[in-house]
Chain A
Amino acid sequence: MIDRRLFFNVDWVLVGSALVVSAIGAAVILSATHGGRSAGAEVKQLYALLVGVVGMLVVLTLDYRRLADRAPLLYLAAAGALAYVLFFGPRIAGTRRWLLVGGMQLQPSEFAKLAAALLVAKVFSESRKESLGLGDVLVPGAALGVLALLIAAEPDLGTAVCLVPMFLTVAFLAGLRMRAVVALCAVLAVAGGIGWQFALQEYQKTRVYTFLDPSLDPRGAGYQKIQSQIAVGSGGLTGKGYRNGSQSQLGYLPARHTDFIFSVLAEEMGFVGVAVVLALYLLVLWRALEAAQLARDRVGAFLAAAIAATLAFQVVYNVAMVAGLVPVKGLPLPFMSYGGSSIVSSFLGLGLVLNVRMRRFAN
């Protein structure tokens, strides 16, 4: 089933960087949660990491082209799962995001991203035109739009928005004309505006307003941004030391082991820690895009690029959010934020990227 020689072509630098970032992530989770309500989260995170790595290896055994061929099926399964949680999933903290499988909480939206990546790669690779117009992206756009709406309805705006850069990147690579790129951005902006008016929940609007002026509500929605900025800024060059950040240890930072994990790192490890982890992320993203460069066919290039674009968006947005540069949105930091579905899905995604690179010479 699998040629053993293929393993020589696995990108160990990419795997290694991702594992190092994940290990740092687990250590920061430990610092952020010890002695609290979520104590022991780093152990669960390591189990999820193990599952993710095994899943990644399983993905390696399957040819990405076979997977891409089954993209419509996977897409339907993902859409079905999303629709199911929306109607029948348990309500946790006001949202329906989870599927209970054997006592575990799974987040279908994390896996829907992979199905979406396979689908866009497949659909765009089948177009043989030199350059694409707006009409050519309508079908894949609509397909991803359905997924995005289902995820946004949970509500999980952050994950839904991840599909946008994925779609734009692949459409751009597939030869979408620059005029169309501009037009598409305009369409998305208008759609965003309409969504702002009608689809956004009040709390989401408040978040944007308080981002623009956090002092509007320092104890409320602006609180997260202010506290995160204080945590990051007070970390200084070398940080306050592991488990020594006053902002994280005394509970001023909200969601400190999930969405705001990076501000714990920034507070306790300082700019040095930030620079090291950002360098590792850059390495991961660079190698993933390199895999797209090296891909032997369009579907491989598109698949690797779709995964890389999504990861890049999540990393850049989350880190920018922690620094207070963009509005607070519930978006996990890949490899570092606590969350089983996120870490497994990230490693499965890496599996797809490695898959493309590994089979660049194969038949």
Chain B
Amino acid sequence: MRIYEDLRVVQARLGVVQSMVVALVVLLTVSFWNLQVLKGRYYRTLAETNRSRPVPIAAPRGALLDRDGRILVENRPSFNVVLTPEHSEDLDGAIARLGRVLGMGEAQIRERVVRSAPPFGSVVVKVDASPEDVAALDARRLELPEVSIEVVPLRSYPLAAAAAHTLGRVGEVTERQLDSPAFAGLGPGALVGQAGIESQYNRQLMGKDGLRRVIVNSRGQEVAEADRRPPVDGPSLTLTLITDLQTAMEQAFAGKAGSAVALDPRTGDVLAMSSTPAYDPNRFTTGIEPALWSRLTGDPETPLMNRVIQGQYAPGSVFKIVIAVAGLEEGIITPTTSFYCPGYLSIYDTVFRCHKAIGHGMVNVHRALAQSCNVFIYQVGVRLEIDRIAHYARLMGLGTPTGIDLPHEAAGLVPSTQWKLRAQKAPWYAGETVSVAIGQGQTTATPLQLARLAAVVANGGRLVRPHLVKAIGGQAQEQAPPQPLGLKPQTLEVVKAGMCAVVNDHGTGWRARLSEIEVCGKTGSAQVVARARLQRNASNPLMQPHGWFVCFAPADEPTIAMAVLVEHGVGGASSAAPVAREILVRYFGTAIPAPAPSAAPSPRPLRAAVEREGAT
């Protein structure tokens, strides 16, 4: 039986279906043409960023060496545990397993992941992991495909807290720094110098990071390396420091707060520089714990401050050097000019005391320096008047930063009539000159400035520019030559002789005396509070004056000039001079027995003298 059905409608409608299918396939073809040929370049770059990832190769930071090439700061290899959350099939599980292996809290890891993971990057979960951690993770590599170990150089300070302020420290770049041009080209997490030489020479020390382009699979694992630009190592910096002298300085300050700096008076090389209390920069390299940081920043003893360049203290009797130079230069006194010291000076309706109540008798400039006679200096200061004093103070480097190659140096203050008009909108009173002359009043200076002042006397009247870096990558650094100040040789000779007498001839600085080397110096004490208030609070250690001692040696051919400040040390003679001596002993390599107290110029204990008058 053959039935012929009428299929005309079916066939007509099939034609419609056929056209639709053709149309759809044509449409698809056009879409693929658009996607693959017209937009191909765009998608190729997307595929490329998908599969290749830039991985910076950290350039090792340059080492810091002392002047003899001994290592002050170096890099040691350390292990970072890195987690790549991208494409982790089970991130929560991975975090839990990783937490168990490292003995870290899950929440701690999760916080790091959330806080710092860029959407397609990796997170450092633990810095400076122990070899045990690394071995444990290596054994579980298959369970934790999203975890990898990176070997990174870590900053290491073998001297620990010694010279901490000078060498500085490194830390992650801050957001504020990232905005500044000095840190252009760095990304978050970069390690940069945050203080001292590390900060001042950061750009040089960093070198130039290299770059690897690696091919990664969808789980973020590296499968091949596409290309590599090797890093340029940061050059090592040779400093002017002498490690042994530096350690001697640190030891001499054990248990005291204060600072000291030793210069080569001929060149301005900083031979040693120390500020106590200090901190251990090693604690910063792996990211400082917040608790330690707040302890350091909140400490009233300011361990983070470099007192040598940031501590501004009244120079006290050290300032008498300036007055002596100014008086001799201006012809107000000659080496033989004498004034009578009855123990006080009554002038401008005020009684200004000398620290020696019974008086020094007839005093010339030599004795005035040696025994730190206030009355002689008052007489000269009053005749010089404030603006000539200010001129000589500035000439010898006070009131402006020394220009040392360290960040955040303080300027100190040299008062003058102009300064007072500008700063306090008041005229200068002649009476104020009297206290300025003995280094009290508004005058302040940093220990580095006073060391440089000592160097001026030591090197025959030239102002040096202190500096710490001798050579970069073996290339000697050009240094500004010492500036001649145009002082008369006779002036310097007289002042130098006076400073020698301070230590060697019935002077206040006898505690710094060495038997074989002639040391010249000047004591001083910087009032912290007014004398009347100190007398009311005689037992409060924080109100005691700071003790100063500046010196240079040997007298005929000085190779070292130094300033020592012992905070609340009361008198420079009793507190700072012995510290200076300890340092000088190590510098000259002579183990000299301490001088007998019988060599003291005055039978009266110094302490009593100090209590009578601040300036000694």
B529, CB-defined interface residue at 8 Å: no
Residue of A nearest to B218 (CB): A251
A41, CB-defined interface residue at 8 Å: no
Q: A236-B40, A237-B40, A312-B21 are in contact. Are A250 and B223 (CB under 8 A)?
A: yes
Give Cα distance in the complex from A317 to B86, angstroms: 30
Q: A250-B216, A252-B218, A298-B5 are in contact. Are A293 and B11 (CB under 8 A)?
A: yes
A50, CB-defined interface residue at 8 Å: no
Taking a contact as CB atoms under 8 Å apart, the answer to whether A305 and B14 are in contact is yes
B426, CB-defined interface residue at 8 Å: no
Give Cα distance in the complex from A270 to B86, angstroms: 28
CB distance from B103 to the nearest CB of A (A): 30
Give Cα distance in the complex from A251 to B89, angstroms: 13
Q: A236-B40, A316-B24 are in contact. Are A305 and B46 (CB under 8 A)?
A: no
| A-chain residues with CB within 8 Å of residue B219 when the two chains form the complex | 251
Taking a contact as CB atoms under 8 Å apart, the answer to whether B10 and A301 are in contact is yes
Give Cα distance in the complex from A318 to B111, angstroms: 41
| B-chain residues with CB within 8 Å of residue A247 when the two chains form the complex | 47, 50-51
Binary flags per residue of B37-51, CB closer than 8 Å to A gives 1, else 0: 101101110111011
| A-chain residues with CB within 8 Å of residue B33 when the two chains form the complex | 271
Within 8 A of B (CB), among A226-284: 227, 229-237, 246-247, 250-252, 266, 270-271, 274-275, 278, 281-282
| B-chain residues with CB within 8 Å of residue A246 when the two chains form the complex | 47-48, 50-51, 215
Contacting B7 at CB < 8 Å: which of A237, A270, A298? A298
Give Cα distance in the complex from A305 to B42, angstroms: 40
Among B5, B39, B223, residue most surrounded by chain A Cβ atoms (within 10 Å): B5
| A-chain residues with CB within 8 Å of residue B39 when the two chains form the complex | 233
B17, CB-defined interface residue at 8 Å: yes
Binary flags per residue of A281-306, CB closer than 8 Å to B gives 1, else 0: 11001100100110111100110010
| A-chain residues with CB within 8 Å of residue B17 when the two chains form the complex | 169, 172-173, 289, 305, 308-309
Contacting A232 at CB < 8 Å: which of B9, B11, B35? B35
| A-chain residues with CB within 8 Å of residue B46 when the two chains form the complex | 230, 233-234
Q: List 20 A-B contacts (CB under 8 A).
A: A173-B17, A229-B43, A230-B47, A232-B43, A234-B44, A235-B36, A237-B40, A246-B48, A251-B218, A252-B51, A266-B32, A292-B10, A292-B14, A293-B14, A297-B5, A298-B10, A308-B17, A312-B21, A316-B28, A319-B28
Taking a contact as CB atoms under 8 Å apart, the answer to whether B7 and A301 are in contact is yes
Give Cα distance in the complex from A333 to B36, angstroms: 20
Q: Which 4 A-B pairs have the closest CB atoms?
A: A233-B43, A251-B218, A234-B47, A236-B40
CB distance from B297 to the nearest CB of A (A): 40
Q: A281-B25, A286-B18 are in contact. Are A231 and B47 (CB under 8 A)?
A: yes
Residue of B nearest to A233 (CB): B43
A325, CB-defined interface residue at 8 Å: yes
| B-chain residues with CB within 8 Å of residue A229 when the two chains form the complex | 35, 43
18 more A-B residue pairs beyond the given contacts A173-B14, A266-B32, A289-B17, with a C-beta to C-beta distance below 8 A: A173-B9, A229-B43, A230-B50, A234-B48, A235-B36, A236-B37, A246-B47, A252-B51, A281-B25, A289-B18, A292-B10, A295-B7, A297-B7, A301-B7, A301-B10, A301-B14, A308-B17, A316-B21
Taking a contact as CB atoms under 8 Å apart, the answer to whether B37 and A278 are in contact is no
A175, CB-defined interface residue at 8 Å: yes
Taking a contact as CB atoms under 8 Å apart, the answer to whether A237 and B36 are in contact is yes
A363, CB-defined interface residue at 8 Å: yes
Give Cα distance in the complex from A174 to B25, angstroms: 25
B residues with a Cβ closer than 8 A to A are 2-3, 5, 7, 9-11, 13-14, 16-18, 21-22, 24-25, 28-29, 31-33, 35-37, 39-40, 42-44, 46-48, 50-51, 86, 119, 215-219, 223
Give Cα distance in the complex from A270 to B43, angstroms: 12
Q: A175-B9, A236-B36, A295-B7 are in contact. Are A250 and B215 (CB under 8 A)?
A: yes
Give Cα distance in the complex from A269 to B448, angstroms: 74
Taking a contact as CB atoms under 8 Å apart, the answer to whether A316 and B35 are in contact is no
A320, CB-defined interface residue at 8 Å: yes
CB distance from B410 to the nearest CB of A (A): 52
| B-chain residues with CB within 8 Å of residue A275 when the two chains form the complex | 29, 32
Residue of B nearest to A315 (CB): B25
Give Cα distance in the complex from A252 to B5, angstroms: 54
Taking a contact as CB atoms under 8 Å apart, the answer to whether A271 and B37 are in contact is yes
CB distance from B454 to the nearest CB of A (A): 67
Taking a contact as CB atoms under 8 Å apart, the answer to whether B217 and A312 are in contact is no
Q: A233-B43, A237-B40 are in contact. Are A173 and B10 (CB under 8 A)?
A: yes
| A-chain residues with CB within 8 Å of residue B215 when the two chains form the complex | 246, 250
Taking a contact as CB atoms under 8 Å apart, the answer to whether B36 and A289 are in contact is no
Among B29, B36, B42, residue most surrounded by chain A Cβ atoms (within 10 Å): B36
Taking a contact as CB atoms under 8 Å apart, the answer to whether A266 and B14 are in contact is no
A348, CB-defined interface residue at 8 Å: no
Taking a contact as CB atoms under 8 Å apart, the answer to whether A323 and B47 are in contact is no
| A-chain residues with CB within 8 Å of residue B10 when the two chains form the complex | 173-175, 292, 298, 301-302
Give Cα distance in the complex from A309 to B20, angstroms: 10
CB distance from A145 to the nearest CB of B (A): 22
Residue of B nearest to A324 (CB): B35
CB distance from B33 to the nearest CB of A (A): 6
| B-chain residues with CB within 8 Å of residue A285 when the two chains form the complex | 21, 25
Q: A230-B47, A246-B50 are in contact. Are A282 and B25 (CB under 8 A)?
A: yes
CB distance from B25 to the nearest CB of A (A): 5
| A-chain residues with CB within 8 Å of residue B21 when the two chains form the complex | 282, 285-286, 289, 308, 312, 316
| A-chain residues with CB within 8 Å of residue B24 when the two chains form the complex | 312, 316
Taking a contact as CB atoms under 8 Å apart, the answer to whether A232 and B217 are in contact is no
Taking a contact as CB atoms under 8 Å apart, the answer to whether A266 and B36 are in contact is yes
| B-chain residues with CB within 8 Å of residue A237 when the two chains form the complex | 36-37, 40
Contacting A270 at CB < 8 Å: which of B36, B51, B119, B217? B36
| B-chain residues with CB within 8 Å of residue A251 when the two chains form the complex | 217-219
Give Cα distance in the complex from A45 to B24, angstroms: 28
Taking a contact as CB atoms under 8 Å apart, the answer to whether B217 and A271 are in contact is no
| A-chain residues with CB within 8 Å of residue B31 when the two chains form the complex | 320, 323, 325
| B-chain residues with CB within 8 Å of residue A250 when the two chains form the complex | 50-51, 215-218, 223
